[in-house]
Amino acid sequence: MRSAAILTAVLLSLLHQVSALENISSQYGDTISVPCSPGDTPSQDIFMIKWKYDKEDGTSGDLLVKRQGHNATITAPEEFTGRLSIGEDNSLLIANGVLSDQRTFTCMIVMASDITELAVEVFIHSE
């Protein structure tokens, strides 16, 4: 019985993968394109893309969700109002980049057999 529980835990951990942190830079005032690159995964295999961000208190906040065959649903807080969209390649687009956008954004990719999270650290340059 215990070995079945351990095997289940191991299998579940394999389903949820987190990749290494990627870094990108953007200029203040520009549109920031935060990549979400699930490798060679065909877009029809992706059920859902969810974008999150790291808050100053260390917790995670939701930004938007894009389900297969549906438009993106934006759930972002006021600081992102009117500035978020999702690109054709599932990248997070943040219009009019500001210094407070300098943080970690995470793309969660949900497929039938896998869940992968890709974290991207964004740096904003003012000059």
> Is the residue at 77 inside a domain?
yes
> Is the residue at 7 inside a domain?
no
Among 54, 45, 55, residue whose Cα is nearest residue 21: 54
> Is the residue at 10 inside a domain?
no
CATH of the domain at 100: 2.60.40.10
- The pLDDT value recorded for residue 69 is 87
CA gap 26, 97 in Å, rounded: 8
pTM, two decimal places: 0.80
Domain that holds residue 42: 17-125
> Is the residue at 105 inside a domain?
yes
**Using one digit for the tens of pLDDT, what is the confidence trace for 50-103?**
999 999 898 999 999 999 889 999 999 999 999 999 998 899 999 999 999 999
**Using one digit for the tens of pLDDT, what is the confidence trace for 8-48?**
444 444 444 555 578 999 999 999 999 997 666 666 778 99
- Amino acid at residue number 19: S
Burial 75-109 (b: 16+ CB within 10 A, else e): ebeeebeebbebeeebbbebeebeeebbebbbbbb
> Is the residue at 9 inside a domain?
no
Overall number of domains in the chain = 1
